Structure 1
Amino acid sequence: MRRISLAVLTIAAIVLTVAAPATASARGAKIRIEHRTSALYPYDPSYEQEGLAYPATIVRGEVRRCPAGTYFLSASLTQDGLPTVWATSGHGAGEVTCDGGTVSLTMGFYRTDPVLHPGRATVRFELHDAYVGTTLTETTRTVRIPR
């Protein structure tokens, strides 16, 4: 009985030792969103790029201590209590590949009615594991869209 208990404790210690660094690095990941967005620029959401252009802005940030792997960025911008739409048509938008260090995060946003305008907005960035779906880290910040 004592040999079984010692073996179980030894295995448990090995599992905890191996799992600890991955858990520690995941908890250490942190997103920082820049205080100001880009200036407003015209964005045409139509497929043909021959439609109306709406004011859009780009939000930039970074994730520090991002464990190596592939993640999906869930990004939102709210202004005057109203949501916006991603200003991107690129395949793979929102996909982030980390190598254990610092990685840039960028997302454009627009709205058709009412359009975005200079002033305050609230941005939320979340990173989710691409394969498991668990949230790695998240943050929300009030930003300024410049004139």
Structure 2
Amino acid sequence: MNFKNLLTDDRAVSPVIGVILMVAITVILAAVIGTFVLGLGDQVSESAPQASFSFDFEANGSSFNGQAGDIVNVTHEGGETLEASNINVEGDNSTNTLSGTGFSGTISSGDSAGFNKVDTGETIRVIWTNPAGGSTNTIARATAPQ
């Protein structure tokens, strides 16, 4: 047996590597095509928007829209422009429903909306609803002072 020929003979390496690469490429293509065929690609693009909101709480004695009581002014500080139809402002107190002007149209930086019937210690949330359906995300929250 000639050891010099055994160490320099590499004819079998190239076909094995070629087969492994072809299988890897086939698996990757199948995964990408399967993702879009099953509709999973649409869900990836519909993630919650990135936006910043500030909350200004005003205690008893203040009035908003002619109604006295605790109010909160929610202001869009920056980030993505949002559609008001996809935004809801809610409190965690189930006995009162927030009321007020709300947002309308397109919400961009600097837009503000006022809501009354806020209880002390209540957590106020800005909730985004996916227009494609199926999911909601809290994109901002604050708690009213005690």
Normalised by the size of structure 1, how large is the TM-score?
Answer: 0.48
Name the one with the larger strand percent. Answer: 1
What TM-score does the superposition give when structure 2 sets the normalisation length? 0.48
Structure with higher helix content: 2
Indicate the structure whose relative CO is greater, using CA pairs within 8 Å and at least 6 residues apart: 1
